[in-house]
Every structure is written in structure tokens, then in C-alpha cells.
């Protein structure tokens, strides 16, 4: 493995070499981890990916695929022949195969499972019983356990023989049927008399993970437990594997990057996804936005008459909608975060609503004054200044309220507020903004 | 420490108790870690925070403050008396004090440093030599090191005496002047003969962190190194402390939450920050947005004449601006991510631009057809349909180009694209959208 800086400069060099048509890159890629390789592939345009890919060995390939973002993995696999894919899949560990299998052609998967050895195909089928946001699917089976009848000396002897996998800070004690009984800090194990039974040292803590937990909950537990890994148990208490703090980082990064993508109205897509695929995915976000935009147009259409008579309304109306939109998205952002962390609940929702409305009111008054001052200089129409001031305050208040209640309602009916919240919010602030502004104008100006 | 689920239900219970006026909460808060407490405080309205705070002991208080989000910490400290703050500060470790000190009144800090013992005040002054995004500031000094002349037996004896701090998977070897020489896996240490010199086992790896690295770079290194912690070195190679994978998670979370906040046009603020403080901070985001909105209004103002004659233009113009805005923010989101990871560089920028423009062109054509069909039914004016179709395609193309070049340029001049990118982008898509739509209308329709 290499440092971040080395990785980035190696990436730049590699990019230049590949652009020139050089595909053998033994020197700079020495010591590259699968993550380093994944980083390189994700930054390469599609055509260069395939040339670089062909220089790698099959066992390396599967770990690189597993380390990639979901979409990049899918794009790369779509470039490969069925025979290529099968070779990679057969050379890969079960953990890697689980990551890859979702994007393989269905027909290929059936044949593949038959070709695996019984142990691997068992593990794979176990994993596939869980959904792709459940811990059981991605659990790492490489775990150190000893039987409850073992002595400290036996456990130590086994440790001596093998290199410990990273993030192993304790060994797990199990019964004959592989049920988890407790864990022993490695340091404690080393410091204990060799003829002691391991059960004398084992601590049973609540810090275990259930295989049907979500990945995000599991990450939260590992993060707060002060250990490098936690055991993952089947429903009946049987030890399934482990989940490490490094796995938690990956889960968090994926979670946050998806949220950021959704706020930018795009899926978490590969940088160089094929044009048609990208266009299709983004079209759905644009289509939803178009409905919002037409809703706003429809409201303006209702007030055609007054706009025709006072064209300044058309000039100023985007201001009302836009200030409402920003106010709403400020509140929305805080509310979504509070819901995601669990810090926002029915008991403090009212207090938050109270505060957000006050904040919006203060800013509404402030910016209404500024905007109406500019308006009165620009258009010399005192009524227009009054109307835009009122519309701004009203729209910003409704925006703040919507910023709380939209995500809370979405959350209650089980829709991720980060996905749908801001679209609904913009629709409301546009519609309300235009309606109040043009509506009061048609009362007062005509 | 408690699990995430326990924490959330304890939080809800506590909230109810505090709302009823009960402030002694011995039972449910047993086993609460500083992080658990920070979670509780951040979800409480301000008035309840103080009542709960007063039930805690001083040494607990400093670790809770250190575990809080920056803004929540600042809000809580602002509620306390100087005497209170000093008591908490004097009872806290240097690491915690470094986290707190930024938000303490300046005058208090000077007096405080004098009252610390020489070792602590030395560490504190060292830390304050680094900026608040540098590793040196937040380094953990609790690190296991042995002198190069020590034998394995000596090192083991010391380990036996103490409980290892979490995430200690190796001990560090230093010379007489505390310069870092290498590290030994704990497992390897335990498995070696006691009369061996530690230097025989020490591995020197490049996996060390420099105190002047940014926290984000340090986190990237820890994440990819496969270890639970890395040593942090002063410029001259002197061992300063360590940075663990748990610290990396905290850095990532803070980084991503700040990005999410900025995309929602708000600072990463406390859920229950005081109304005036919140209003003031958000006012600056709203003010910047107002400039954008007035720029758009100004463009509409130029074409007052044609809008007055063809009011359908006023009805439809938000559609052009809004579709451009979404297209641009899709590209912007990908570009910002690519810049942040380092996967976007001058050598593949052209390939990305190429792809994004094609994607925008395909979607431009698609939605131009849809919008002009609806327009022709609604307004029965074929020229209007042509104009809006052209304006949509042009605006979406320019949006995609801006989505790449704005963040790249901002990045080159050292401004965080996540902070300023989307404001500049919206200004461009609004101005260009209105200009092309209304401008071509004034040519063709009048």
C-alpha cells in the first residue's frame, strides 16, 4: 500500500502513460493495494480501463472489483466477456464474490455457484439471504475463534503460527456448535498463565452485531465501542464472522457520498459512466424537476393578466421563489441530519419548529426591507415594494415550516428525505412564492 | 458505552424526563460514554442543556465537550460562567483542552495556561502551533513507545502493567531523543524471545504521519494502511503521538457533514443554536443568494418589452432556468467529488468534459421536445415552442460546461468548490437561461 500522495502522483503518471498508449506499468504499481487500483480505475476514461485491466492477474482483479464504487464496478464488468467474468469470479474469495455478484448476468451466477467448492457456495448462499444493506451480506469470515475447552496455551500456539488479519484486537470464544460465548483481548491472553482455561478470561459484552442489522447501524456500533472489530452473530447466536472499523469507514463514505449525490440531483455514478447510461439516469431527475417547474409555471399562468399589466412582477418574481427556496433548504438540511442521527424526535420537534420559524421570520424581515428598498428605487412603485416584502416574509416562513414537516413526514412513511425532500420543498417554495406575490399583486395593483 | 439503539431510546426517555423538569438521571445514563452524552446534549433545546449539564462532574464535562460538534460545543460554553469554564478546563486532559480552547474567551485562556502544570502547558502550546485543520493540533499523546536499547522482555513487562489504550496494535521504538525508529506488531512482540533487542524486531515503514499534514490526508493514510493507528512525527522525526482509525472516522464525518451543510446553503450548525446566532449566519448565505437573484432579475428587466407583449414568456421562463440549474448541479456534484478524491486531473478533464457535454446534449434534446410539445398545446404559438427548445438545449449545454469549469477554476485558486460552486453555477444558469430565452424571443416574436 502507498500513501495518498504517492497514490495521486502515481495516478497522474499512469494516466499520462495510458494516454500515450503504454499499458505495461510494472514499476509504479508495485505495492498497490486493491483500493489503490480501484482508485486508478475509477479515474480512467472507459477505453483506457480495459487496456489496463488486461495487464492484471485474475486473483488481483476480483479484489479490485470488490474495492470499487458500485457503479464503477458495474461499468467495468459490462465491458468484459462472460468467460473473463467467470475466470475472475472463480479466482475470488467469497467476500469479494458477494460484492461482485449483484451486477453479474443472472444466468452466469447459477452456473458459477455450481462450480464453486461446497464451502464457498454455502457461504455465498448464506450471504445472499441478506439484503444489500444488511450486515450479514458483507460479513468477513476471517475470524479468530477458539473452543471454550481450550487452554490459553493452545490459543497462543495457534496465534503464533499465523499472521493475524488486520484489526484483530481480540479472539472470540465459541462452544462446540460455534455459538459465540465471549471475547478475550489479545493483550490479556498473552499476559495470562498458559494452563488457564480460556473461559476464565472471556468477557461477554453486549458489543456484538446481529447479521440482520443494517450496515449503517453496525458501523455506528463499531465506531462507538472502542474496539477495532466486533463479532457478527446469526439469529441463534452462532458466530458468523466479523465487522471491522475499516469496514465502517467504507460504509460511512458510501452513505455520505450517496447523500451528497442526491442533493446534487444525480445518482452516485461513475465519473466516466457511458454517455447513454448517464443520460438515462439523469433524465429521471430532470423529469421530476420538470414537473416542479411546470407547477410553478401553472401558477404564473393563473395571473397572466396582472403580469401583462405590471411587467415588473415578471422581473421580480424569481427573487421571491429563490429566497424561499434557500430558506427552506437550510431548515431541510438540519432536519434531515437530525433525523439521520436520531437526535430529532417527536419530543423536540416542536422546539425546533419554533426556532426555525423565528430564524426565518428575522431573515424574512431583514431581506424584505432590503429587497423592497431596491424595488422602490428601481420601479418607483410603493405598492410593489409592499407586495414583494409581504410575499418574501410569507414564503420564507412557509419554507421553514416545510423544511421541517416534509422530511419528518417522508421519514414516517418510509421514504428517504434526502432523496425526495428537496424536490418537494422547491415545488412548495416556487408555488407559494409565485402565488402570494402575484396573487396579492392582482388584488392591490389592478 | 451503549449501542446506537439503546442510545436513541435513552435519549428519548431523557428528553421526556427533562421536559417534565426531572434533572437527576442516574439510572439510564450509566455506562454513557462522552460520545453518548454529546449525542444527548446536541439533541436538547438550549434551556434543557444547562439543567442537565449541572448534574455532571467536571472531569466528565471536558470529555463531553470535546466529543461535541464544533458549533454545539461553542453554544454550550457560551451558556457557562467563566468560573465554570475554568473548572472544566483545569480538570481536562490536554487533548480535550485543545478541542475546547478555540471557543474560550481569549482572556481566560492566558490565565488558564499559567495554571496548568508545565508538561500540560507545553503540550498545549505545541498543539496551538498548528492550524485547526492540521494533524499536529489534535494528535493523541497516549502512545506506547520503548527505547531502542530495551529488550523484548522489558517491553512486555511494561505492557503487562497497564491496560492498553484502544487501537494499540503495535508499539513504537524510539531513540534517546525520542526520534521514531520503527514499530513492532504487538503479536510479534509477544511471540519473540524475551532477551532479544527490540530493534531486531522493529519494522520501519513509510506509514508515518507528519504533524503538518491536513487531518483529511492523515485519515486517508490511516484508512488505507491496514493498521488501527499510525505514529505522528514532528518535522525532525521526533515522535509526537498517534492518530487512530477511530479519529479518522470522526474527521470523515465532520468533513462530509460540512459538505452536506454547504450544499443546503447553511453552516454546519447546532440543531438548537440560539435564534439570533442562527439568523445571522444564515443571513450571509441568503444575502449571497439575493445577489444571484437580482442578477437574474436584471436580465429579465432588459427584456421587459417583449415580456409585456408575450406574457407566455414570463410563464415559461422559470422552466429554462430550473432545468439548466439541475443539469449544472449534476455535473458539478461529480466534478467536486472527482477533485476531492484526486481522481480528476488535467489529463482526464477533457474526457470528462466531453462526456458531460454529450449527456447534457442528449437530455437537452429529450426535454426540449417534451417542453415544446407541452408549450405548443398550452399557448398555440409554434415560434414559442421553437424558442424554448433552443433555450433549453443551449442552457443545459452551458450548465454542463460550467459544472466542470467552475469547480476546477475555484480549486486552482484555492477556494473550496463545495462552498462557492453551486452559487456561481446557479447565477450562470439563471442569467444564461433568461438571456437566451428572452433574447431570442425579442428577435423572433416581436
> Helices then strands (H, E): number in chain A?
21, 6
CB A344 within 8 A of CB A338: yes
Query: Which cell numbers hold the place of A132?
Result: 444489500
Preferred mutation among B20, B38, B347, B375 to probe A, highest tally of A CBs within 10 A: B347
pLDDT tens digits for range B247-260? 999 999 999 999 99
Alpha carbon A43 to chain centroid, angstroms: 19
Strands B239-244 and A239-244: unpaired
Portion 80-109 of A in contact with B at CB < 8 A: none
CB B372 within 8 A of CB B385: yes
The reply to whether A269 touches chain B by the CB within 8 Å rule is yes
From 1.10.10.60, 1.25.60.10, 3.40.1160.10, 2.120.10.30, which CATH number describes the A4-132 domain?
A: 1.25.60.10
Question: What's the maximum distance between 2 C-alpha atoms anywhere in chain B?
Answer: 97
Q: In chain A, which stretches have pLDDT less than 70? A: 1-6, 19-30, 161-162
Q: Which chain A positions have a beta carbon within 8 Å of B329's beta carbon?
A: 264-266
CB B96 within 8 A of CB B61: no
Question: What is the model's pLDDT at position B16?
Answer: 73
The reply to whether B314 touches chain A by the CB within 8 Å rule is yes
From 1.10.357.20, 3.30.70.260, 2.40.30.10, 3.40.50.300, which CATH number describes the B275-444 domain?
A: 1.10.357.20
pLDDT tens digits for range A241-300? 999 999 999 999 999 999 999 999 998 899 999 999 999 999 999 999 999 999 999 999
The reply to whether A39 touches chain B by the CB within 8 Å rule is yes
pLDDT tens digits for range B26-72? 556 667 888 888 988 998 888 888 888 888 888 789 889 989 998 99
Q: Which chain B positions have a beta carbon within 8 Å of A313's beta carbon?
A: 314
Confirm or reject CATH 1.25.60.10 for domain B4-131, answering yes or no: yes
Which of A1, A36, A245 is facing B245, going by the closest CB pair? Answer: A245
Q: Please, which residues have CB within 8 angstroms of residue B218's CB and are 6 or more apart in sequence?
A: B135, B209, B230, B232, B243, B248, B251
Query: Which cell numbers hold the place of A413?
Result: 412513511
How close, in Å, is residue B408 to chain A by CA atoms?
15
Question: What is the model's pLDDT at position A321?
Answer: 95
Which residue in chain B is spatially nearest to A185 when comparing CA positions?
B164
Asked whether the beta carbons of residue A359 and residue B294 sit closer than 8 angstroms, the reply is no
Taking the CA of residue B109 as centre, how many other CA atoms within 13 Å lie in the half-sphere pointing to its CB?
A: 13
Which residue in chain A is spatially nearest to B210 when comparing CA positions?
A3
pLDDT tens digits for range B1-19? 456 666 677 777 777 767 6
From 3.30.70.980, 3.10.580.10, 3.40.1050.10, 3.40.50.300, which CATH number describes the A145-260 domain?
A: 3.10.580.10
- Is the whole-model pTM more than 0.90? yes
Q: Which chain A positions have a beta carbon within 8 Å of B226's beta carbon?
A: 1, 33, 166, 246
Q: Which chain B positions have a beta carbon within 8 Å of A342's beta carbon?
A: 4, 7-8, 11, 39, 43
Which of A252, A297, A311 is facing B252, going by the closest CB pair? Answer: A252
Question: What is the model's pLDDT at position A189?
Answer: 85
Which residue in chain A is spatially nearest to B248 when comparing CA positions?
A249
Whether ipTM exceeds 0.95: no
| Number of Cβ atoms within 10 Å of the Cβ of A220 | 22
Average pLDDT over residues B417-431: 92
Positions of CATH 1.25.60.10 in chain A: 4-132
The reply to whether A259 touches chain B by the CB within 8 Å rule is yes
Positions of CATH 3.10.580.10 in chain B: 145-260
Provide the H-helix boundaries in A269-345: 275-302, 304-309, 312-341
The reply to whether A430 touches chain B by the CB within 8 Å rule is yes
Which residue did the predictor score with more confidence, B93 or A401?
A: A401
The reply to whether B165 touches chain A by the CB within 8 Å rule is no
Which of A4, A225, A286 is facing B221, going by the closest CB pair? Answer: A4
Q: Which chain A positions have a beta carbon within 8 Å of B263's beta carbon?
A: 260, 263-264, 333
3-class DSSP state for residue A272? coil
DSSP A93: -
Query: Which cell numbers hold the place of A325?
Result: 427556496
Positions of CATH 1.10.357.20 in chain B: 275-444
Calculate the average pLDDT of chain B: 89
Cα distance between residue B117 and residue B108, in whole Å: 16
Question: What is the model's pLDDT at position B268?
Answer: 86
Which of B160, B221, B321 is facing A191, going by the closest CB pair? Answer: B160
Asked whether the beta carbons of residue A263 and residue B167 sit closer than 8 angstroms, the reply is no
Distances (CA, A) of B331 to A161, A290, B300, B341: 52, 18, 26, 16
The reply to whether A71 touches chain B by the CB within 8 Å rule is no
Q: Which chain A positions have a beta carbon within 8 Å of B430's beta carbon?
A: 318
Of B198, B141, B139, the C-alpha closest to B165 is: B141
Amino acid at each position: 500500500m502507498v500513501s495518498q500522495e504517492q497514490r495521486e502522483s502515481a495516478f497522474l503518471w499512469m494516466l499520462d502513460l495510458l494516454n500515450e498508449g503504454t499499458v505495461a506499468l510494472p514499476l509504479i504499481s508495485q505495492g498497490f493495494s486493491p483500493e489503490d487500483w480501484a482508485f486508478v480505475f475509477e479515474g480512467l476514461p472507459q477505453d483506457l480501463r480495459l487496456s489496463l485491466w488486461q495487464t492484471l492477474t485474475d486473483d488481483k482483479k476480483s479484489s479490485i472489483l470488490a474495492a470499487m464504487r458500485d457503479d464503477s464496478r458495474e461499468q467495468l464488468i459490462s465491458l468484459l466477456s462472460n468467460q473473463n467474468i467467470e475466470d475472475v469470479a472463480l479466482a475470488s474469495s467469497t467476500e469479494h464474490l458477494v460484492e461482485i455478484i449483484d451486477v453479474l448476468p443472472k444466468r452466469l451466477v447459477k452456473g458459477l455457484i455450481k462450480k464453486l467448492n461446497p464451502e464457498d457456495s454455502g457461504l455465498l448462499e448464506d450471504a445472499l439471504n441478506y439484503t444489500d444493506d444488511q450486515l450479514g451480506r458483507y460479513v468477513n469470515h476471517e475470524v479468530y475463534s477458539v473452543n471454550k475447552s481450550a487452554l490459553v496455551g493452545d490459543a497462543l500456539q495457534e496465534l503464533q503460527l499465523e499472521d493475524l488479519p488486520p484489526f484483530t484486537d481480540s479472539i472470540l470464544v465459541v462452544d462446540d456448535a460455534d455459538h459465540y460465548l465471549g471475547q478475550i483481548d489479545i493483550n490479556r491472553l498473552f499476559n495470562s498463565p498458559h494452563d488457564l482455561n480460556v473461559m476464565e478470561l472471556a468477557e461477554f459484552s453486549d458489543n456484538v452485531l446481529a447479521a440482520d442489522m443494517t450496515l449503517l447501524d453496525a458501523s455506528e456500533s463499531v465506531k462507538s465501542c472502542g474496539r477495532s472489530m466486533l463479532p457478527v452473530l446469526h439469529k441463534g447466536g452462532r458466530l458468523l464472522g466479523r465487522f471491522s472499523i475499516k469496514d465502517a469507514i467504507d460504509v460511512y463514505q458510501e452513505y455520505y457520498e450517496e447523500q451528497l449525490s442526491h442533493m446534487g440531483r444525480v445518482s452516485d455514478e461513475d465519473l466516466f459512466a457511458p454517455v447513454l447510461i448517464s443520460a438515462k439516469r439523469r433524465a429521471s431527475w430532470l423529469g421530476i424537476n420538470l414537473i416542479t417547474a411546470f407547477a410553478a409555471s401553472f401558477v404564473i399562468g393563473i395571473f397572466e393578466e396582472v403580469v401583462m399589466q405590471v411587467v415588473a412582477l415578471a422581473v421580480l418574481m424569481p427573487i421571491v421563489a429563490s429566497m424561499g427556496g434557500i430558506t427552506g433548504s437550510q431548515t431541510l438540511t438540519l432536519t434531515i441530519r437530525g433525523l439521520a442521527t436520531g437526535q430529532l424526535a417527536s419530543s423536540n420537534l416542536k422546539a425546533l419548529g419554533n426556532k426555525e420559524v423565528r430564524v426565518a421570520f428575522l431573515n424574512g424581515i431583514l431581506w424584505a426591507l432590503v429587497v423592497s428598498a431596491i424595488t422602490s428605487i428601481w420601479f418607483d412603485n410603493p405598492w410593489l415594494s409592499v407586495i414583494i416584502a409581504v410575499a418574501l416574509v410569507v414564503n420564507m416562513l412557509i419554507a421553514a415550516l416545510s423544511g421541517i414537516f416534509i422530511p419528518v413526514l417522508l421519514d414516517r412513511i418510509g421514504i428517504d428525505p434526502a432523496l425526495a425532500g428537496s424536490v418537494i420543498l422547491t415545488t412548495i417554495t416556487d408555488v407559494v412564492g409565485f402565488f402570494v406575490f402575484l396573487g396579492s399583486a392582482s388584488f392591490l395593483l389592478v
